Amino acid sequence: MTKKLLPLGDIASLLQCYANGRLSPTQLVEAIHIEIQSDPDHAWISTLSLESLRGYARTVETKGMAALPLYGIPFAIKDNIDLAELSTTAACPAFAYTPSHSATVVQRLINAGAIPIGKTNLDQFATGLNGTRSPYGACRNAFNPTYISGGSSSGSAVAVAKGQVCFSLGTDTAGSGRVPAAFNNLVGYKPTRGWISTHGVVPACRSLDTVSIFAFTAADVARILAISAGYDAADIYSRERKKHGFNFGAAPHFRFGFPRKQQLKFFDNHHNEQLFNKIITRMQALGGEAAEIDFEPFLEAAKLLYEGPWVAERYAAIQSFFESHGDQIIAPVREIIASAKQRSAADAFNGIYQLRHFKQHADQIWASVDCLLTPTAGTIYPIQAILQDPIRLNANLGYYTNFMNLLDYAAVAVPAGFQTNGLPFGITLAAPAHQDEPLLHLANRLQQVQSLPLGATGITLLQDTYFPATSQSGQVRIVVCGAHLSGLPLNEQLTSRRGRLVTSTTTSSDYRLYALPGNPPQRPGLVRVNKNEQGVAIEVEVWELPVRELGDFVANIPAPLGIGTIMLANGEALLGFICERYAVENTIDISQFGGWRNYLQQLNITIIKP
């Protein structure tokens, strides 16, 4: 039975198996229970009993698929996140306690029908990016057991990559939800700080911690995010989600930045360097405009995480335990946390001031790009190499990740191919806080064009994966047909209000276009004809701008033009420029040109280039 049911793939495929009766949640948890009894990769610390797993399965079977969006979907939980019934160890047996309630995020997933399988291995107290700092054993890479899995959410990544669960929860303070994803060919999502509650999570740096999600696809992550995110008054760092703005991830044209060549580091791994260059090309093929950016402010901010006062926050998180049981904490975690005692309150404030300075400079890139593209990690190391040089090599792994939470950005790690030795390579897409959904849209598109297998399962990625609808963007789309078109004199009225071109298209075929009085002609009049009149399709552009800018923009529109509803060729109805009918009497009908731009070219009127 196990061989037939495992490895698991994406959530949609499993739900389909349930829907057509080929499988039941009870059958699945029984198979998983058998599978994970043998754990040569040291992915698991503890698992629920078979009786408990069957109980969860019977509960979801009783409620039915219609009531549960994650009906019977198995997931794993990093062992610094509480699950009632099982001990939380943070990979330190002396620290262990058994919670009476599950963490907020875990309970939300269970309420939606997901089935927790157990708790996964991690770098002790979530301090590390390699997965070897655990008394439960060094977690092994899903593709090559002599290599690191990445950390600190090591077991969470490997359990998914092996197809033992469909998704897992990790935590991410310095890259712990992204580096293991890159090393195991998974999507690793680090949300905007505060989007997913950390109530019931053993803190590392409480002001920076996020709960991360590992899954096979960005579509799966979006599905899980829709259920797990939400304000939680029990978490002092929880915050409401804001509107994400322009959805660059779903747009045919977007701008992405990447570090200057001299700022890119692959630590002598030339295979990863070649794979990263290929991803730049793929992003351009998706409609991305590439731009080199100065990566120095990001690198300077990253140094503060371990060289600055934030290491003291790790000490504060377990201060009482550290003072009474410090000998139970393994090296080098103990030495890292102990260094916090050398820090003063003045150091903390000076670090905050430095971070504000670096963030001011780093944030300037968002005026010219929508997202940032970097490797997730420049290279990967064998387990033995990490054990021999644990501090320096671990620092190399955080080169592209340590700054993210300090600067309050959202990020998603995406599979990006394989080295010649068969080990995965991954990239990270990042954007300002609250732009998580555009990032996941873009990650989904990037996955679709690459068609890489799911984790280490060998299962093929399904094309055209269902992607959940996003929340409100705070944007409005508007159709322009005249001087506001790209390159024409009034286009600046859109761009100066942070307007972005969405697409070039045409109206439905029931419009006519007129040249309103002027010498030379300055404005067209777009009129929708009656059913008994002959119309044509007129070339237009669809622009998107923040809702807060719409009123000021509309206030500058002179009569007889105004804003009304325009039907596009695809049947979509959007706001756009229309003309009152009285104004086109005795004017020139220019519909035969198909659009204002063609008409101006016919008159040899110069078009301003964008």
From the number of C-beta atoms within 10 Å of its C-beta (0-12, 13-18, 19+), residue 412 rates as buried
pLDDT, one tens digit per residue, over 326-348 is 999 999 999 999 999 999 999 99
598, pLDDT greater than 90:
yes
- Is residue 378 domain-shared with residue 512, that is, in the same domain? no
Query: What's the CA gap between 174 and 403, in Å, rounded?
Result: 7
| Beta carbons of 237 and 207 less than 8 angstroms apart | yes
What is the average pLDDT score of the chain? 95
**Number of domains observed in the structure of the chain:** 2
Indicate whether 515 and 422 sit together in one domain.
no
Query: Does the pLDDT at position 1 exceed 50?
Result: no
Is residue 455 situated within a structural domain? no
What was the pLDDT predicted at 132? 98
Lowest-confidence segment of 88-102, 141-155, 516-530, 561-575 by average pLDDT? 516-530
Give the pLDDT confidence score for residue 518 in this predicted structure: 79
The string of pLDDT tens digits covering residues 23-32 is 999 999 999 9
- Do 201 and 72 share a domain, yes or no? yes
Which residue in the block uniquely carries the two structure tokens 């009285």? Answer: 582
Q: Write the CATH number for 72.
A: 3.90.1300.10
The yes-or-no verdict on residue 4 having pLDDT over 80 is no
Show which of 433, 450, 467 is a domain's final residue.
450
413: in domain: yes
* Band of pLDDT at residue 43, cut at 50, 70 and 90: very high
User: Which distant-in-sequence residues (6+ apart) come within 8 Å of 111 by Cβ?
Assistant: none
Q: Are residues 444 and 485 in the same domain?
A: no
Residue 467 lies in a domain: no
Q: What is the mean pLDDT of the segment spanning 403-407?
A: 98
Element (H, E) at 506: strand 500-506
- Residue pLDDT, tens place only, 418-444: 999 999 999 999 999 999 999 999 999
| DSSP H/E element including 554 | helix 547-555
| pLDDT score for 610 | 40
Residue 455 is encoded by which pair of tokens? 């984790």
384-399 pLDDT, tens digit each: 999 999 999 999 999 9
pTM reported for the whole predicted model: 0.92
CATH of the domain at 530: 3.10.490.10
- Same domain for 576 and 539, yes or no, is yes
Q: Which residues are catalytic?
A: 78, 152, 176
User: Which of 384, 379, 383 is closest to 397 using CA atoms?
Assistant: 379
What per-residue confidence (pLDDT) applies to 606?
A: 55
Structure confidence at residue 2 as a pLDDT band (50, 70, 90): very low
Looking at 450, 483, 498, which one is the last position of a domain?
A: 450
In a domain, 29, yes or no: yes
User: Is residue 126 domain-shared with residue 261, that is, in the same domain?
Assistant: yes
Query: Residue holding tokens 């004017």?
Result: 587
CA distance 79 to 81: 5
* 193: nearest Cα among 176, 180, 206: 206
SS3 (DSSP) at 414 = strand
Share of the chain above pLDDT 90, in %: 92
Is residue 457 a part of any domain in this protein?
A: no
Distance in angstroms between the alpha carbons of the first and the last residue of the chain:
62
**51 C-beta neighbours (distance < 10 Å), count:** 7
Same domain, 41 and 164: yes
What pLDDT was estimated at residue 609?
Answer: 43
Of 68-77, 429-438, 547-556, the poorest mean pLDDT is in 547-556
**pLDDT higher than 90, residue 605:** no
Residue range of the domain that includes 258: 2-241+253-450
Percent of the residues in the chain that have a pLDDT greater than 70, as a whole number: 97
**Domain assignment of residue 379, yes or no:** yes
Closest CA to 175 of 5, 85, 305, 359: 305
pLDDT for position 467: 79
Statement to judge: residues 419 and 482 lie in one domain:
no
The pLDDT assigned to 70 comes to 98
Average of pLDDT values for 355-381?
A: 97
CA 426 – CA 397 distance, rounded (Å) = 12
Give the DSSP letter of residue 43. -
22 C-beta neighbours (distance < 10 Å), count: 11
| 502 shares its domain with 410 | no
Gap between the Cα atoms of 186 and 160, Å rounded? 8
Tell me whether residue 7 is in a domain.
Answer: yes
Residues ≥6 apart with Cβ < 8 Å to 529: 510, 511, 512, 535
- Among 402, 434, 450, the domain boundary falls at 450
Same domain, 418 and 549: no
- Bridge partners (DSSP) of residue 74 are 115
Question: Residue 217's pLDDT is what?
Answer: 97
Instruction: Say which residues have a Cβ less than 8 Å from residue 39's Cβ, sequence separation at least 6.
Output: none
Write a three-state SS string for 422-477.
Answer: CCEEEEEEEEECCCHHHHHHHHHHHHHHHCCCECCCCECCCCCCCCCCCCCCCEEE
User: Which among 201, 180, 195 has a CA at the least distance from the CA of 318?
Assistant: 201
Q: What share of the chain is helix, strand, coil (3-state, %, to 5)?
A: 35, 20, 45
Q: How far apart are CA 481 and CA 561, in angstroms?
A: 11
Report the alpha-carbon distance of residue 417 to residue 2 in Å, rounded.
Answer: 29
What confidence category does residue 465 fall into, taking pLDDT thresholds of 50, 70 and 90?
A: low
Is residue 421 in some structural domain?
A: yes
| 479/434 same-domain check | no
Looking at the fold, whether 480 and 433 belong to one and the same domain comes out as no
Residue 350 CA to residue 11 CA, distance in Å, equals 46
